[in-house]
Amino acid sequence: MPSLLTQLLKEKINKILSPLSYILQKVKITPNMLSLFGLVVNIISAVAILNGKLVLGGFLLLFAGFFDLLDGAMARSTKQTTRFGAILDSTLDRYSELFTLCALTWYFFMKNDASLLLACLISIVGSLMISYIKARGEGLGFNCTVGIMTRPERVVVLLTILILNSLHPQIISIGIWFVAIASNITAIHRLLYLRKQDKINTKDDKENSA
């Protein structure tokens, strides 16, 4: 099952942001504009990380997350949801996360930290596989929203360890390895979940045709 905490937070945040959504609509700002602005902030965050300003990068990620929440809330509350908007939002989400992970990869490469460089690469693999398995599964008619380390959780962990990095150097090490391992566990979890659904559907089909 998807994270219950994430779902509850989304519902609360949507209620809070709904009034702001109507104000933005009045000044001709669209959900897609907010999605693109969030991507720009994520790129600026990645540049900060590349320059070793990890805490600044973390706060910029937090700021970008605000627009990531606002675009969806606005689309729903003002009835501007479209299929292309959903595709654009998901695509920009992937780009945003990869910018962050690639920036961290380069940062640790320049620091000659092989362990965290490897952790970043494993995190990238996990992130891509989580998205791919979901997209492939839903394209075949399956439901696939399970997992402990979906994108919101990954973003929260990344921005938290970036902001708290100055407190203790081990925070970022533990956090990135956690993202790396938990992301790939989530990908495997989704794959097994789809396998289970496929077996149930195959059994039902056989019973119905009997």
pTM summary value: 0.85
Residue 148 one-letter amino acid: I
CA pair distance 172, 150, nearest whole angstrom: 19
More confident residue, 132 or 72: 132
DSSP letters spanning 169-196: THHHHHHHHHHHHHHHHHHHHHHHHHHH
How far apart (Å, rounded) are the C-alpha atoms in residues 83 and 86?
A: 5
pLDDT digits (tens, 9 = 90+) for 139-148: 888 888 888 8
37 CB neighbour count, 10 Å cutoff: 15
Which domains are delineated in the chain? 4-200 (1.20.120.1760)
Tokens of 115: 């362990």
- Among 207, 197, 81, 98, residue whose Cα is nearest residue 151: 98
Confidence of residue 1 (pLDDT cuts 50, 70, 90): very low
Lowest mean pLDDT among 2-11, 25-34, 47-56, 61-70: 2-11
Rg of the Cα atoms in the chain: 19
Residue 1: Cβ-neighbour burial (10 angstroms; 0-12, 13-18, 19+): exposed
Place of tokens 């600044």: 56
**Closest-CA residue to 151 (of 105, 186, 188, 194):** 186
Cβ(70)–Cβ(106) below 8 Å: no
Distance of CA 31 to the CA centre of its chain: 18
- State mean pLDDT over 179-202: 92
pLDDT score for 144: 85
Question: What's residue 13's pLDDT?
Answer: 63
Per-residue pLDDT at 7: 58
* pLDDT score recorded for residue 183: 96
